[in-house]
Each structure stands twice: as structure tokens, then as C-alpha cells.
Structure 1
């Protein structure tokens, strides 16, 4: 089973927790609406797996040239292309079925939008500078909007901007570290030849600064001054994340977070503090 779980990128399901963000910040996490959000979480896990499978099928020839990606199930030959196609198709069908049965037309459209964008990304847009990062960042915000649509909960404008800029920060950081590790002529990532380390570095830190500002504005807008204490915690989290990707990392957000116990503890502290303030 390990090779199939690796193919489905189960570890990356962590990103889909963003589906619960609207409920968490709207003080409705422990209501009946959480059932819809849980179904939405499962649907997004399945659709994201379908995307990863398609991407790995497309990238298999180039992945075999990469020092770590060559170990992926399809690139290594552990899973055949036919097996991967069957698993990807089943994930797609199950995701759409869950969205239709437990969601609404709009939520289904967002699932299809996510799949279509990533299909275009894997089919060639990942080789277009800026468009590749925009699609990567869009995946995060689509998860949040999907959760909001599924539960009929509005999203704060400041939080929306915080997630957008934070997603751009991580996407640009991923590309920057790929350049650092492969060079701008990397065979496995053709788009790198259009970027420079300096360009990615500068814009990456512009985005992280904006994310902090937008989050601080959201905290100031609350009626409870306790929210202000969460701002420095968020700043420390982003500084620790930046410190990690300045090291020997390819910049993948999930890999960075799951390999740093201190960062996990900081994120847990941040979530626990926010939960205490919001729900008391």
C-alpha cells in the first residue's frame, strides 16, 4: 500500500485543512456545518490526489533525472502508468460525487476549477513564468473559498488577502529554492530559466511582509484586543519558515513544515491561541 499512498501524496492532504478555515474563524467549527466541511475536506483530498497522479504521469520522464523525484512511484516503476490512471480516475469520480451529494452546484464548480487549473498547469502552464506561481497560489485560496461556499460562510477580506499573499510567498520560495538547488537551467523544471534568484527572493519577501500587514489589519479590526497577541506569533512562524527554506530545502511547504518540530509546535500554539480567543 505504501507505493499507492505515496502516489496519492497523502502527506499533502494537510493543505486541505484550509477548507475548515471559514468555519474556524466564524466560530462555527463545532456546529452541524462542520459535517459539510468534513465531506468537503475528503472531496478535496481526492481531487488533489487525482491532480498529483496526472502530474506524476506527465512528469515521469523528467522526474527520472531528478535526485529525489526519481523515487516517485511512477518514475521508479513501482506503479505502472495504467494503474496510476485508474487510481486518478477513481479519485476524480469520487470527489465530484461527494461534492454533488453533499454540496451544491457552486462547490462542484470550484472542485472542477481546481482540477482544470492543475490540468492546464501539468499540461504546459508550469513552464510559463509567473503563471506557474499564480496557479500554485490559487490552489490555496480555492480551498478556502470552497469551504466557504460549502458551508455558506463569508470570508473576511483581510484573511482572504492574507492567504493570497502567504500562498504567493510559499510559491515563490519554492521556485527560488529550486533554482538554488538545480541552477536556472535545471532539466527537470524548464521554467527556472525564466527566473532569477534575485527576482524570486525580493518578491517572496514583499509577499510575506504584505501577509503580515493584512493579518495585522484583520486582528486590529476585531473587537477583542487579545487578537493582537497572535500577530507576533504569526511573525515568528513566518521567520522560522524563512529560516528553514534558507537552508538545504527545495521549498516545498508541506516538506518544510512536517520536517521541523519547532515549526509544528509554533503553528499548533498559534492555532490553539486563536481557538481560545475566538471560542471564549
Structure 2
């Protein structure tokens, strides 16, 4: 009889008995599950105050730091609950199996408990530290994202709408916290700009999936229901509307050259359009899978972004 390999029982035992979380591994696993890399998206909370030129007071700074922290807590709650819910499916995935909950570093009940606690604490703290509208928006964000995790991410078009709305809520919440009226052009530009990036990401994932099985990022089940042609149509439509809305906003709010003041806001249109066109290059190639990677890694796009910030900053200063 052939000798039985000692490695086989070890592998089987490891599969049945995942590693137990350690005292240090559990908090680190919870932090990793909260997706710190995604927190950069929450910088959008300064969008409305920046557009209105309300960034430079002590009250605004304190409120925006609080709103950033509360929105980060709310988003982290959703990630924790999502990973706990998807743990079994993630274990069968080639890359998601490394997530702390799927790998056994964080027990699913602990992820549920911490996520549920954050989901309740974030809106509650907003009632005390910010405004009722801020708390209401945070609560709506948590409910919407949990509904997305449970079922809405499997519904065509609705999934794009939910993710886009999440970005729009980030951009709105800073204005609500400071009592700043939100311009219709600001909302249209931000909403369709977010839809442009979200649909470009889905398009890139669909292109990767059509290129062959097992490609990173090309495992979203709903992608089989979309066509690349449809997703291309969506990101092109969204890009066009975002550019048009921004131009109308700049033309309506921008100054003139009278009195020696340059129309900075109108000049910023060129940088904004160039940024959209540059980002569209990556979308067209199917390489816009992670918006933060595209924005941070492409030097030309970064330079265009700095120019736009400078021009818009001058526009706000002259307002």
C-alpha cells in the first residue's frame, strides 16, 4: 500500500479549521476590511464648500474633518457587513479569498457586530456633532449601501445608479453640514462625473472579462448581463453631460475681464475638459478599473488636475 502523504491531511485540516484571529491580527484585519485605500473617495466631502469658497474658516475646517470621519465610519460599516455576508463566496475566489473575513483572520460575527455598531454610531454622532440633514444623509447612505450589498448590486442599471449616488452623497454632505446652498449645476456636474467614472470602471471590467477568464477585476456576476457597447454608451453620455453642465456652470457663475480680473472660472473649463478627455483614454482602453489608480498614477492627468485646482481656486478667490 502506498504511503499516505503527510501534506494532504494538513491541507484538509487548514481548509476545515481556518486560522484563529490573534490579539493583534483581529484589529489589523478589521482595519483592512474597512478598506483604508478607499477612504480617499471621502475627500469629496470638501467639494461643495470648495465650490462655494467656504473652506478657510475654523468652523468649516472642524466640520469637514468631522464629516470626513463620520462618512468614513459609515462606508467602513458597509464594507465590514458586505465582507461578512460574502465570506463563503469570497473563499472560492482567487483574490478575494485573501480578505480578512474570508481568510479567517476576522470572524464573520465580529465583522457583523463592528459593522452594525459603526452603521448606528455614524448617523447618531452626526445628530450631535453636525446637523440633522447631515445625519439623515448618512443614514440614507448606510441603508442604500446595505440594500445594494444584499440585492441591488444584482439589478441592471440600478447598480450603476446606487454607486453613482454614493459619490454624489459624498459631494453633497459637506455643503449640508455647513448650510451651503447646493447649485443645480454643481449637482449635475458631480452626478454625471461620478456616473462617467463608475460606468468606465464597469466597462473596463467587462473588457477584461471578455479578454479571457480569470482576469483580475472581471468577476462581477452582473457584468455578464451588460454589453460592452451599452457600458461604452453610458460613460460617453455621462462624460458629455458632465462637460456640458460644467461649462454652463462656469459661464453662468464666471466673471469677466472687466476691471482687470480674468475669468478664471471660464478658463477652468479647458482644464476640466482636458481631464475628462484624458480619463476617457483609459476608459476606452479598458484600463479604468480603479478611478483612484488612474488619477494618482497618470502624471499628465495629475498635472491637469493641479492646473484645474489652481484656476478654480483663483475663481473662488475673486468671487
What is the TM-score with the length of structure 1 in the denominator?
0.90
Instruction: Give the Cα–Cα distance (whole angstroms) in 1 for the partners of residues 223 and 28 of structure 2.
Output: 31
Q: 8 Å contact 1:173–1:201 — kept in the other structure? A: yes
* 2:17 is aligned with 1:5: no
The equivalent residue for 1:257 is 295
State the aligned residue count: 280
What is the TM-score with the length of structure 2 in the denominator?
0.80
Q: 8 Å contact 1:185–1:192 — kept in the other structure? A: no
Instruction: Give the Cα–Cα distance (whole angstroms) in 2 for the partners of residues 86 and 261 of structure 1.
Output: 41
Q: 8 Å contact 2:123–2:136 — kept in the other structure? A: no
Q: 8 Å contact 1:23–1:34 — kept in the other structure? A: no
Instruction: Give the Cα–Cα distance (whole angstroms) in 2 for the partners of residues 132 and 24 of structure 1.
Output: 29
Per the TM alignment, residue 149 of structure 1 is displaced from its structure 2 partner at its CA by: 1.6
* 2:111 is aligned with 1:84: yes
Alignment of 1:95-134 (within 5 A): 95-134=122-161
Bigger Cα Rg: 2
Instruction: Give the Cα–Cα distance (whole angstroms) in 1 for the partners of residues 65 and 280 of structure 2.
Output: 31
Instruction: Give the Cα–Cα distance (whole angstroms) in 2 for the partners of residues 38 and 5 of structure 1.
Output: 19
Alignment of 1:64-213 (within 5 A): 64-183=91-210, 188-213=219-244
* 2:48 is aligned with 1:22: yes
Per the TM alignment, residue 44 of structure 1 is displaced from its structure 2 partner at its CA by: 0.4
- Structure with the larger RCO, 1 or 2 (CA within 8 Å, 6+ apart): 1
Cα gap change, 1:202/1:40 in structure 2, threshold over 3 Å: closer, same or farther? Answer: same
Instruction: Give the Cα–Cα distance (whole angstroms) in 2 for the partners of residues 51 and 78 of structure 1.
Output: 18
Per the TM alignment, residue 247 of structure 1 is displaced from its structure 2 partner at its CA by: 4.0
Per the TM alignment, residue 257 of structure 1 is displaced from its structure 2 partner at its CA by: 2.3
Which stretches in structure 2 are left out of the alignment for 5+ residues? 1-26, 256-262
Cα gap change, 1:79/1:23 in structure 2, threshold over 3 Å: closer, same or farther? Answer: same
Per the TM alignment, residue 189 of structure 1 is displaced from its structure 2 partner at its CA by: 2.1
